[in-house]
Amino acid sequence: MSAPNDYLHCPLCGFEFIKQQSACERGCPLGKYCRLVCCPNCHYEFPPELRVVSWWRRLFAPAACPKPPRDLFSLSELNEGDHAELVRLTSEKVSRRNTLAVYGLVPGSRLVLQQKRPSFVIRVGETELALEADIAGELVVKRIAAEGAANLTS
C-alpha cells in the first residue's frame, strides 16, 4: 500500500501530489474506508497505485514529461504524402550535402515525401529522389501546407 506521504500521480491530468493533498469532499459517506484519492487539480478520483508498482514505474518507466510542441522534424518522422520545407541538413559529410544540393535540395527547398518503404522517395520540383533511411533521418524539415509546395520555388 502507499504510505501517506508518497507522491501520487493523477492518471488523468498528470498532476503530482501527496495523499494529504487529496481533494476529498468533507462529509463523504464512505469516510475512512474509502481507498480512493482525489486529484486536487482535476478532481479525478482514482485508487492510488501500490508502492511496489510505483517503485517499478520510477525505476523503469520512461519519463512521463510531455513533449514540448515542435515544428521541426526529421524527414523520417513525417508521413507519406506530407509536404515539407527543408530547414537544415545535419550531415557531417559535405559531399553528401552537396550531392543533395545538386539535385536542388538545399535549406529552403520544398519537397514531398512520397514513400518511406523500402526506401525513402521524395520529390523536389520535378526530380524524384530515392534516399536511404539514414540519410532521410539527417534532413531536418518543417511541415508546410500542400498548396504551398505546389509551386516549384520558395
Partner 1 sequence: MSASPTTQHPPAEQTLILVGNPNVGKSVLFSKLTGKFVIISNYPGTTVEITTGHSTFSGKTCAVIDSPGVNELAARTEDARVTCDVLRDHPEATLVQVADAKNLRRALLLTMQLAELKRPMVLVLNMMDELDKVGGHIDVRKLSELLGIPVVPTIAIARTGIHLLEKSLDQAAVPASLTASLKTQQTSPTVTTNLPCQEEDYQQNIERLSYINEILAQVYTRVRPRKPTFAQQLGWWATQPLRGTLLLALILYFTFWFVGLLGAGTFVNFFENAVFGRHINPIAIRVVDAALPFPHQHRHEASEYKLDIPLAPGRGIELFSSTQQVLSPAYTIEPGAAHGWWNAVIRFIHDFLVGEYGMITMALSYGFAIVLPIVTTFFLLFSVLEDSGYLSRLAVMVNRIFRAMGLNGKAVLPMVLGLGCDTMATMTTRILETRKERVITTLLLALAVPCSAQLGVLMAMTARVSWGAALFWVALMVAIAFVVGWLAAKLHGGASSDFILELPPMRRPELGNVVVKTLARLEWYLKEVIPLFVLGTAILFFFDKLNLLEKITCFGEPIVTGWLGLPRETANAFLIGFLRRDYGAVYLLDAATGPNATLSPHQILVSMVTITLFMPCIATLFMIARELGKRTAAAITVFVFVFAFFVGGLVHHLGRWIGL
> Rule CB under 8 A: which residues touch partner 1?
93-104, 106-109, 114-115, 117-119, 121, 125-132, 135, 150-154
Instruction: Please state the closest distance from residue 133 (CB atom) to partner 1, in A.
Output: 9
Q: How far is C-alpha 136 from the chain's CA centre?
A: 18
Smallest distance from partner 1 to CB 78, Å:
17
Place of cell 557531417: 92
Nearest distance in Å: CB 74, partner 1: 16
Cβ closest to partner 1, residue 37 vs residue 149 = 149
Element (H, E) at 114: strand 110-115
Query: Is 72 strand, coil or helix?
Result: strand
Please, which residue, 49 or 85, has the CB nearer to partner 1?
A: 85
> Taking the chain, what is the end-to-end CA distance rounded to the nearest angstrom?
61
